[in-house]
């Protein structure tokens, strides 16, 4: 488990492989052509699903006196975050947050006020 805040979230961070030519670190919120784009496709989706499965295993193995974390966060370091919320409240209903079409956030999107507000809302809901 990479980051855990009791009663709030588990974050599992991974790093997908960048081609050798793109290994330079982009500046935060940099959307220039040199910033690595978030990959997509079946291979990347599997990579992120595997990280989510790992986060779920951590949640299941928390001590019995710890509440289920309402959020699981999967991070591809330097590229994107995916948010999952426990809609059931018992650790068995983690689903994409806020919905199945907009749960993946590329890093440059954190400069957008609506994305910042969504993360603030999620933090307030979890805390």
pLDDT tens per residue, range 54-103: 999 999 999 999 999 999 999 998 889 999 999 988 888 899 999 999 99
Cα–Cα distances (Å) from 15 to 38, 44, 46, 59, 65, in that order, read: 11, 11, 13, 21, 32
pLDDT of residue 114: 93
- Nearest CA to 38 among 26, 53, 20? 26
pLDDT band at 111 (very low <50, low <70, confident <90, very high): very high
pLDDT of residue 93: 87
pTM: 0.79
- Nearest CA to 40 among 16, 14, 21? 16
pLDDT of residue 69: 93
pLDDT band at 32 (very low <50, low <70, confident <90, very high): very low
Cis omega (within 30 of 0) for bond into 98 = yes
pLDDT band at 38 (very low <50, low <70, confident <90, very high): low
- C-alpha 73/C-alpha 87 separation (Å) is 14
pLDDT of residue 41: 79
> 3-state class of 96 per DSSP?
strand
Mean pLDDT, the chain, whole residue set: 83
- C-alpha 113/C-alpha 117 separation (Å) is 6
């Amino acid at each position: 488990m990479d980051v855990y805040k009791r009663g709030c979230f588990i974050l599992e961070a991974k790093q997908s492989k960048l081609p050798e030519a793109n290994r330079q670190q982009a500046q935060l919120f940099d959307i220039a052509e040199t910033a690595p784009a978030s990959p997509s496709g079946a291979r990347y989706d599997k990579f992120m699903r595997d990280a989510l499965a790992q986060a779920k295993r951590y949640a299941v193995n928390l001590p019995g006196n710890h509440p289920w974390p309402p959020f699981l966060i999967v991070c591809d370091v330097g590229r994107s975050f995916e948010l999952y919320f426990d809609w059931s409240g018992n650790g068995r209903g983690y689903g994409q947050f806020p919905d199945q079409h907009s749960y993946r956030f590329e890093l440059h999107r954190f400069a957008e006020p609506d994305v910042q507000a969504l993360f603030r809302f999620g933090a307030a809901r979890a805390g």
